[in-house]
Amino acid sequence: MAWYRGKLAMFLLIFQAIFLVLFGVLVEYDPAADARTEHIEEEHGYQNPVDFYYAMFQDVHVMVFVGFGFLMTFLRKYSFSSVGFNFLAAFMIEWATLMRGFMELGHHHGKITVNIESMILADFTAATVLISFGALLGKISPLQLIIMAFIEVILAVVNEYIALEIFGAVDVGGSMVIHAFGAYFGLTVARVLATEKSRISSKEGSNYTSDLFSMIGTIFLWLFWPSFNSALAAEDARHRAVLNTYYSLAACCIVTFAFSSLFNKEGKMQMEHIQNATLAGGVAVGTTADLMIFPWGAVLLGSLAGFITTFGFHYVTPWMSKKLKIHDTCGVNNLHGMPGIVAALGGAVVASLADKDLYGRNLYVMFPALKPGGEGEMEDMVTGSPEKMMSGRSASGQAGYQLAALAVTLVIAIVGGLVTGFVLKLPFWNEPKEDDELFDDHQNWELPEEEERMINGNSPSKKPLTKHGEAEDKV
């Protein structure tokens, strides 16, 4: 048992030592944060990037560490692990900073520069891994999570580079490269690791208190999602992204309540739907959040997302578990996967309609690859690196590249998930196998005395609901 515990500490300390060395050798401040830089005074004084980005960064940071963490606390016996392992996003932030820097070493004289934007991007990558974690919640050890995160960060950054830099796709809210990628990577890993015990465990359930804590995460995510979708946009594009996300989330919330009631034979709302489907509007509008979709388009996408996600929880999740043997603990296919695909398809449609009548002088700002005049004339809006795509493509060509980015994202996520799943099946990673190790905090946490008594069978007899609304004695 000591070796079981010691492996996690050993790997965390080894990784941290490696990160420390790499940060020491390669990472330096961006000129905007370097005291040795002579800042050029603008008309109204020096404009510090922190002033522009920090509020949005903090909102995203809260979403990653509070929103995602508490959203996953619905498992009544796994709340310590849900919030605690979510805190290991700190590991993903350091590794994502380095991995993103490796992709750009040639642009910065062999150094990795960090600034407020790189902090936001690191949080985005951490969110990708946490989405995957949702599909595996309660079924993997913390050591498996660390190994999965290490591999997934590499694949996620490479996929994002292909989709946004090489293909020139637009995806300001990351619906393709964050949400869809994270969902289908995690679902594929879940399929590889699937066991009968993990699919029908009697402890995969919620109670009144755990669902209430989960709603805390929902509310935080719902409130701050406009910042997630607009963090890297600028000027009028940022304003549009906030507006579009705001109205998409509102519409999604209304439709979710309606269909949650309609899908129930007694006309009651199901907390599982309200915790998750109300957020899908933020995903569905992510790719087009900063584009000219108009408020009605945002409301349409949010309404569609509310229906699809609620339908997914009620019908698709049980079907996947029964027919495909894919057990999706948090329903990431419904909240992130399917709405991410909707967002990608919407992005292709909106791109096909792009012209100067709609965007005016901002057409080439929003779609840099449409700019005529050859290669390498513009800087990428996200990374600041020179544009790699051949310029002057048509609007329909841009739509094609949007779809190609979605296809590549799904391929890398699924193939990468397969490989990662088989790596995680190696017996070294402390995979939970026995029923008492699944969906239960006691394997990894020192619990209060009353919880220990409950584990030993001294608690009052209760029949809490499972995640999918069935009483435990029916499982």
**Hey, where are the domains in the chain?**
50-437
Q: What is the mean pLDDT of the chain?
A: 88
The residues pairing with 114 across neighbouring beta strands, listed in sequence order, are 29
What is the Cα–Cα distance from 192 to 417, expressed in whole angstroms?
A: 8
* pTM listed for this prediction: 0.89
Q: For residue 149, is pLDDT > 70?
A: yes
What are the tens digits of pLDDT across the range 163-202? 999 999 999 999 999 999 999 999 999 999 988 776 777 7
Take residue 59 and report the two structure tokens written for it.
């909102």
What is the Cα–Cα distance from 371 to 393, expressed in whole angstroms?
A: 7
* CA 198 to centroid of chain Cα atoms: 23
Q: How confident is the model at residue 232 (pLDDT cuts 50, 70, 90)?
A: very high
Find the range with the poorest average confidence among 342-346, 447-451, 452-456: 452-456
In terms of Cα–Cα distance, which of 79, 94, 182 is closest to 138? 79
Q: For residue 470, is pLDDT > 50?
A: no
Contact indicator for 381, 238 with CB cutoff of 8 Å: no
pLDDT reported for residue 450: 60
Beta-carbon contacts of 359 under 8 Å, excluding residues fewer than 6 positions away, are 292, 365, 366, 367
Contact indicator for 329, 137 with CB cutoff of 8 Å: yes
Q: For domain 50-437, give the fold.
A: Ammonium transporter fold (1.10.3430)
In terms of Cα–Cα distance, which of 178, 88, 70, 183 is closest to 405? 178
Highest mean pLDDT among 108-112, 193-197, 215-219: 215-219
Q: For residue 124, is pLDDT > 60?
A: yes
Q: For residue 245, is pLDDT > 50?
A: yes
Radius of gyration from C-alpha coordinates of the chain = 22
Q: Spell out the SS3 assignment of 110-155.
A: CCEEECHHHHHHHHHHHHHHHHHHHHHCCCCCHHHHHHHHHHHHHH
Task: Give me the phi and psi of 418, to 5 degrees please.
Answer: -60, -50
What is the Cα–Cα distance from 60 to 118, expressed in whole angstroms?
A: 13
Contact indicator for 250, 302 with CB cutoff of 8 Å: yes
In the predicted model, what is the mean pLDDT of residues 141-166?
96
Find the range with the poorest average confidence among 97-106, 169-178, 395-404: 97-106
- When comparing pLDDT for 202 and 132, which is higher? 132
Take residue 417 and report the two structure tokens written for it.
């998930």
Contact indicator for 214, 79 with CB cutoff of 8 Å: no
In the predicted model, what is the mean pLDDT of residues 403-429?
95
